[in-house]
Amino acid sequence: MTENDTAVSAKAPSFLDYAPAPESTSVLHLKKHYGLFIDGEFVDGRGDAFTTISPATEKEIASISNANNADVDAAVAAARKAYDRTWSKLSGADRGKYLFRIARLVQERARELAVAESLDNGKPIKESRDVDVPLVAAWFFYYAGWADKLDYAGLGPNPQSLGVAAQVIPWNFPLLMLAWKIAPALAAGNTVVIKPAETTPLSAMIFAEILQQADLPQGVVNIVTGAGDTGQALVNHPDVNKVAFTGSTGVGRAIAKSVAGTGKKVTLELGGKAANIVFDDAPIDQAIEGIVNGIFFNQGHVCCAGSRLLVQENIHDEVVDRLKARLATLRLGDPLDKNTDIGAINSKAQLDRIRELSNIGESEGAERWTADCAIPENGFWFAPTIFTNVSTSSRIAREEVFGPVLSVLTFRTPAEAIAKANNTPYGLSAGIWSDKGSRILAVADKLRAGVIWANTFNRFDPASPFGGYKESGYGREGGRHGLAAYLESAGWAAPAVTKGGKK
């Protein structure tokens, strides 16, 4: 054995080695138990309380009330009362002021919210701190300004609020999805009953405290925690006027069926299987970063994740090699560590699903490559994984994995790329990487997806509408379009041709 070899076996310091830099949890002032937030107060739920855990350690964080049907009734009744007596009577300007207050309070308590989110969800603190929570504040700030300008929302003069909105949100961006739902609903003059996901209720509980600090009139926002049956009771409640859901296409389909014939207005943000198309003239460094961001952001728990990489055939090997090299530098581990790139998978159930689909990918003939990184002993983890040689019929190319798993396919011509990109029942998002502006415009025109990122991926902004085509759902969140989900047009002046229309 040479001297050199000894040095290597004693572990040469790698540039990846780093001292842990965990974000302090001292900013948190968590309670041992959180009740439901109904009519401005925390009240105990009548169902059996459940525990929310940190997916990184499997340690318990807090006990959470479980809303049963009677609790949902109470929450809807509180929202209805608040709508009738308070919120619908308030001027748009005053509604806006409450929303501005909320935006500011979110900014003031941003660090606390970020730590709570990473603790409860498992996402890296750098994402909750730099993406989720700033966007939450931005969302409230943006819609605050709309509250007294609804005549300009494109729905004709004096558009009307709907009433009580039932909102059910997922676990992948717990607080951000809450903001996407609550901000436009309140700006438009509705009151809200919202159900956070069962595995990620924590940040919503802190948000309830923020509502108390903002002195938001009681009952305007009600938060009921629980599992699927709580959501079902809420969505099917006869006294709600609007249903907004973000989650899986399966549940979205069930909701669309259950509200059929009720006259409830519905918006659904469902699953996706986004194509991320890389042409051979793409700026390759940026494209590699964009591909990584597209599928490994938030552990791939993103409905618009770029989970199908379509690479032009002549650069396939180069792109895959560089991707592997880049993935080898991602740090997986403690979500609260500021160096962490890949956090924990949100739940055991989700981890099982990712494992199952990955195994199916292998058995269907795709080649699996997984980044060589140490997996912590406790918690739920899945190392970044790439499948090459994936056929378009393979389940990992068709089904939403909702995890850090990328399927790589190839194409030769733009027409082939477009055909493959559109070959899915989903239509939420897509990416295009090319240096040629005219090609980007032409390809973007042909993609059947609601959000398209050109030379970037996974960008979100309160001014920008988000939502899908086809089985990715309907309605838009964000921007002027997002208001339409919570307003009824009072009707444009009918054109002259309607005269004599009735015989």
Partner 1 sequence: MTRLTVPKTYKLYIGGKFPRSESGRTYEVTTKKGAFLANASLASRKDARDAVVAARAAVGGWSGATGYNRGQVLYRIAELLEGRREQFIDELMATESLSKSAATAQVDTAIDAWVWYAGWADKYVQVAGNGNPVSGPYFNLSTPEPSGVIAIVAPQDSSSLLGLVSVIAPALVSGNTVVVVAHQNAPLSAISLSEVLATSDVPGGVVNILTGSPAEIAPWLASHADVNGLDLAGAEQLEWVDLQIAAADTLKRVSGPIVGVPAPSIERVVQWTETKTVWHTKSLI
Residues belonging to the active site: 269, 303
Listing DSSP states for 260-277 in one string gives TTS--EEEEE-----EEE
Smallest distance from the beta carbon of 117 to partner 1, in angstroms?
21
Name residues contacting partner 1, limited to 444-473 (CB under 8 A). 444, 447-456, 459, 461, 463-467, 469-471, 473
Neighbours of 173 (CB within 10 A): 29
Smallest distance from the beta carbon of 249 to partner 1, in angstroms?
7
Q: Which is nearer to partner 1, 328 or 463 (CB)?
A: 463
Asked if 124 touches partner 1 (CB under 8 A), the answer is no
Asked if 476 touches partner 1 (CB under 8 A), the answer is yes
Q: Strands 308-312, 367-370: parallel, antiparallel or unpaired by DSSP?
A: unpaired
Rounded to whole angstroms, the Cα distance separating 456 from 293 reads: 9
The position carrying tokens 């943000």 is: 269
Smallest distance from the beta carbon of 237 to partner 1, in angstroms?
18
Is the Cβ–Cβ distance between 199 and 227 less than 8 Å? no
Asked if 291 touches partner 1 (CB under 8 A), the answer is no
Shortest CA distance to 342 belongs to which of 293, 294, 296?
Answer: 296
Q: Which is nearer to partner 1, 13 or 261 (CB)?
A: 261
Smallest distance from the beta carbon of 413 to partner 1, in angstroms?
17
Looking at 40, 47, 252, 384, which residue binds partner 1 (CB under 8 A)? 252
The position carrying tokens 């059929």 is: 260
Quote the DSSP letter at residue 342.
Answer: B
Rounded to whole angstroms, the Cα distance separating 99 from 309 reads: 39
Q: Which is nearer to partner 1, 1 or 497 (CB)?
A: 497
Rounded to whole angstroms, the Cα distance separating 85 from 323 reads: 57
Looking at 162, 224, 270, 366, which residue binds partner 1 (CB under 8 A)? 270
Asked if 249 touches partner 1 (CB under 8 A), the answer is yes
| Dihedral, 308, 311, 317, 321 alpha carbons, nearest 10 | -50
Pull the structure tokens for residue 79.
Answer: 């929202």
Q: Which is nearer to partner 1, 375 or 490 (CB)?
A: 490
Q: How many residues bind partner 1 (CB under 8 A)?
A: 56
Smallest distance from the beta carbon of 159 to partner 1, in angstroms?
12
Is the Cβ–Cβ distance between 469 and 427 less than 8 Å? yes
Residues that bind partner 1 in the complex, under the rule CB under 8 A:
138, 154, 249, 252-253, 256-257, 260-261, 263, 268, 270, 425, 427, 437, 440, 444, 447-456, 459, 461, 463-467, 469-471, 473-474, 476, 479-481, 489, 491-492, 494-503
